[in-house]
Every structure is written in C-alpha cells, then in structure tokens.
Amino acid sequence: MKARIQIMLRDGVLDPQGEAVRHALGTLGFEGVEGVRQGKVIELDLAHTDRAAAEAEVTAMCEKLLANTVIESYRIELG
C-alpha cells in the first residue's frame, strides 16, 4: 500500500520560502500572485494490507517524526 503525506505550515505561521517564491514570480513577470505557501510531500511504500492499520501507523509517524505539529498540519492519502 502507498501512503502520500502532504505537510504544510499552519495558517498564520510565517512562510519565508513561500514569500521568496511569490516575490521571484513577480520579478519574472507573473503578475497577480498574491500569496504562496510552500510545503512538502512524503511518499511511503507500506507492507500493510489493512487500511485502518496503515492509516494509524502513518498518523503515528507524522506525529512523532514527519511533521512538526506545532507549526505544521498534514494530510494522509492511502492508495
């Protein structure tokens, strides 16, 4: 089973990388971009065949290592 985790900074947390990308897009002539939020995607190949067990394990991974839950939120997709 594959798991895809999308991790983003929480709303209200300053995103300097996103702001740098927004500024760079403007200097390249891309007008109208008012905001950019940058995140990360982690893909895992899991041995699990039980969807509920896989989701529980990936959630534990996110809570313990993959995401800084103080400033980041995450979304898990299993497939």
Supply the Cα-derived Rg of the chain in whole angstroms.
Answer: 16
Residue 24 φ/ψ, nearest 5 degrees: -65, -40
Q: What is the pLDDT of residue 19?
A: 97
List Cα–Cα distances, 63 to 43, 46, 48, in angstroms: 16, 17, 19
End-to-end CA distance of the chain: 6
- For residue 76, the model assigns a pLDDT of 98
Per-residue pLDDT of the chain (79 residues; tens, 9 = 90+): 999 999 999 999 999 999 999 999 999 999 999 999 999 999 999 998 999 999 999 999 999 999 999 999 999 999 9
**Residue 36 is part of a domain; what is its CATH number?**
3.30.1280.10
CA dist 3 and 53 (Å) reads: 12
* 64: three-class secondary structure by DSSP: helix
Question: Which domain, by its residues, includes 57?
Answer: 2-78
Number of domains within the chain: 1
